Structure 1
Amino acid sequence: MSRLYGDPIEVWTREGQPVQFVWRDRLHTVRRILDHWVVARELWKISESDPGERRFWRLEAGPGGRGGTYELRFDTAAEGWLLMRALD
């Protein structure tokens, strides 16, 4: 089962990949990246220098010893991160 959110989050990256994020006032540490994909669509294109990509990561993360599976999205046009879903 998964829950959709679309919540804005703050993310720290290393070499372009998320390593930590804050969601609901809790720091989550990324333990493992399960999948990564990029979606580029002309509708999101705002200029020739910005392809309007949306980059997605499915990962295992959590605060402290607990963990879960999450999907994060980075929108290059908006330069913002969202937590898209939490998977059980």
Structure 2
Amino acid sequence: MRRYDEQVQVRVVDPGDGSPARPDAFIWRDRLHVVTTVLADWLEREAWWEVDVRRGEPLPYERRVWRVEAGPGRWAGTAVYDIARVVPLDRLVLAGAGAAAAGGAGHDPGRGAAPVRPAGEGEWWLLCRLD
């Protein structure tokens, strides 16, 4: 596995079944990589209690990670990549509460609280390439 942590541009498609929009292609190092298969996806949250924003540390984030098989062209072959959409927790709102309702972060949808959804697009990052 090779770690990169480089920002990428991602084109997404909406599957139309209520699940999150998934990556369809991404541009990494000036090359278009077309996603052939989505292998898995999961949600990660940074430990907000370990971040001290008063000392200038960046805000905690939530990221949805997608493990995809993708390649830069028909003849170049494919590889497995982890790409993530990162959203700072201050940009999350309670679903159905409207964009003006901040502070939805910290509610855990798995514990019966109102679901949390991103309020903005967020940034996409290529985290690693699995060899």
The equivalent of 2:66 in structure 1 is: 57
* Matched position secondary structure for 1:64: coil
Give matches, 1:32-51, under 5 Å: 32-41=37-46, 43=48
Divergent runs of 4+, >3 A: none
Give matches, 1:1-88, under 5 Å: 2-15=1-14, 16-41=21-46, 43=48, 52-65=61-74, 66-77=77-88, 79-88=122-131
How many positions carry a matched residue from both structures?
Answer: 82
AA partner of residue 54 (structure 1):
R
Could you tell me how far 1:41 is from its partner in structure 2? 4.0
Identity %: 37
Q: Which runs of 5+ in 1 are unaligned?
A: 45-50
More helix by share: 2
Greater C-alpha radius of gyration? 2
Cα deviation 1:41-77 (Å, max 9, x = unaligned): 4518xxxxxx942100001001112210000011122
The structure showing larger relative contact order (alpha-carbon pairs under 8 Å, at least 6 residues apart) is 1
Q: Which runs of 5+ in 2 are unaligned?
A: 15-20, 52-59, 92-121
Q: TM-score, normalised by structure 1?
A: 0.84
Q: TM-score, normalised by structure 2?
A: 0.57
